Amino acid sequence: MGDNFQSNKTMASVMMDYEFKMKTQNERSKVEDLFDYEGCKVGRGTYGHVYKARRKDGSDTKDYALKQIEGTGLSMSACREIALLRELKHSNVINLIRVFLSHTDRKVWLLFDYAEHDLWHIIKFHRAAKANKKSVMVPKGMVKSLLYQILDGIHYLHSNWVLHRDLKPANILVMGEGPERGRVKIADMGFARLFNAPLKPLADLDPVVVTFWYRAPELLLGARHYTKAIDIWAIGCIFAELLTSEPIFHCRQEDIKTSNPYHHDQLDRIFNVMGFPQEKDWEDIRKMPEHATLVKDFKRSNYQNCSLSKYMDRHKIKPDSKAFSLLQRLLLMDPNRRITSEQAMQDPYFSEDPLPTQDVFAGCPIPYPKREFLTDDDQEDKSDSKARQNQQQQQQPNTQQNQVQANSHDHAANNAKRMRMSGPNQGNAGGGGGQQEFHQQQQMMFGGQQQGAGSQQQGNFQQRF
């Protein structure tokens, strides 16, 4: 469909001036002329593909992230993403540097700064270490610094009336070595997801993307509109996951293809952690569209012994700690009572020692591996989406899917998708142990199973970059 509009000679009018067209064509720079990115894919998902890129002319040696938007042309979500990112400017929100429109194949490319890490990988790393009874050395205040910067970025978005709508660890990026070392970048706002019925069920493409774990209870009960409070709930979930290395509202996700927002198992999981909400705690719960289903499906008495403080206590977070008290304010069931990002940033947790730092790694070596490159094997990948879905469930603490795990190893081996473990930080990861500024995050560290932990990651390496 590219450039053949003038071939229709019978048309009464000429649509575009030839000279104008040639001039624009000559001035337009092509992404492939300016950047090297072949073979450097670091992410894929419903949103498209992300590559790690370098400038060809060597005018700088920085890494960039090039995102090729899924599909062709300007979908509504692409339009929203370009329109909003063009205006947003905050140190904790991903920065859109440039847009490339490729007229011949009608592809849209977005150029961003490259973020080496994200919370999905960081948490996964800690969990793998924990499973192997190893420890990871990170600064004592890292979780606090991460949370503070997430809140700062969300506060900026919210004060501009931009809702994220899809906050989860994979969308919270952290900058690696460089001038912005250890800085949080919020990425992949759920542009237009609410209004834009995807052509394909999201589940077909990317199981991680449609996780319900970070969904606020009101959404699960049929709330029709996204709100700031929904983003805050997700931040609460991420905070808990950072503290414990486990997704707090972890839930099996077999029927993720459902279009119904009501999700029994996910609600059950939330009540198992939080307890069943009392009328006085959430008065408007009766107004929720799915309230009748809730009453029919759930018995308060089943959750009598559940509370957030007990859950967190089991994970070694004391109910009298400042961290717990802030978590509780973020994870209030009633959206109207949940605190705002601004209030959260004023919480005493952040004025207590250790204070949050701009570099979440506080100048310490970064223990996490760099992103691996993915092979360009889309065919195989789509047919394999079922396997990836299963692999995702391996994240679960009590996985019983040994067989699938074995498969995933094969899968990884076949594709020779190798983790890049070479980073300069790697050797230092264990160093400096026992020093005061280090805090042994529970009991974790990548063990002899590096290969295994790495390959588990292979198939479902689909977070937003």
Partner 1 sequence: MAGNFWQSSHHQQWILDKQDLIRDRQHDLAKLSEEEYQKIFNFFASIIQVLGEQLKLRQQVIATATVYFKRFYARNSLKCIDPLLLAPTCVFLASKVEEFGVISNSRLITTCQTVIKNKFSYAYGQQEFPYRTNHILECEFYLLENLDCCLIVYQPYRPLLLFVQDIGQDDQLLTYAWRIVNDSLRTDVSLLYPPYQIAIGALHIACVMLGKENLKPWFAELNVDMDKIQEIVRSIINLYEMWKSYDEKKEIQSLLGKMPKPNPAPQR
Q: Which amino acid is at 439?
A: H
Nearer to partner 1, 84 or 131 (CB): 84
Dihedral sign from CA coordinates of 361, 248, 442, 459? negative
Task: Decide if 164 contacts 190 (C-beta within 8 A).
Answer: yes
For residue 408, give the H/E element and its range. helix 402-415
Cβ(231)–Cβ(171) under 8 Å? no
CB 273, min distance to partner 1, A: 34
Q: How far is the CB of 97 from partner 1 (least distance, A)?
A: 11
C-alpha distances in Å from residue 152, one per residue of 30, 146, 178, 414 = 35, 10, 21, 43
| Least gap, CB of 187 to partner 1 (angstroms) | 17
State which residue, 192 or 306, has the beta carbon closest to partner 1: 192
Active site residue 265: no
Determine if residue 357 is left, alpha or beta; phi over 0 gives left, psi from -120 to 50 gives alpha, anything else beta: beta
Q: Is 133 annotated as a binding residue?
A: no
Smaller CB distance to partner 1: residue 6 or 414?
6
What is the residue whose two structure tokens read 């588990």? 456
Q: In whole angstroms, what is the distance from residue 322 CA to residue 425 CA?
A: 32
Which residue number, 6 or 435, has a Cβ lying nearer to partner 1? 6
Check: CB of residue 340 under 8 Å from CB of residue 228. Answer: yes
**Which of 118, 166, 188, 231 is an active site residue?**
166
Shortest distance (Å) from residue 194 CB to partner 1: 9
* Parallel, antiparallel or unpaired: strands 96-102 and 48-55: unpaired
Q: Which residues bind partner 1 (CB under 8 A)?
A: 1-3, 5-6, 11-20, 24, 28, 73-76, 79-80, 82-84, 86-87, 89, 99, 101, 103, 106, 160-162, 192, 195-196
Decide whether 80 or 183 has the Cβ nearer to partner 1.
80
In order, the DSSP letters of 77-132 are: HHHHHHHHHHH---TTBPPEEEEEEETTTTEEEEEEE---EEHHHHHHHHHHHHHT
Tokens representing residue 446 in the block: 């990548």
Tokens 């997704």 sit at which residue?
247
Binding residues for ATP: 67
- The catalytic site residues sit at 166
Q: Which amino acids are annotated as binding site, given as ranges? A: 67
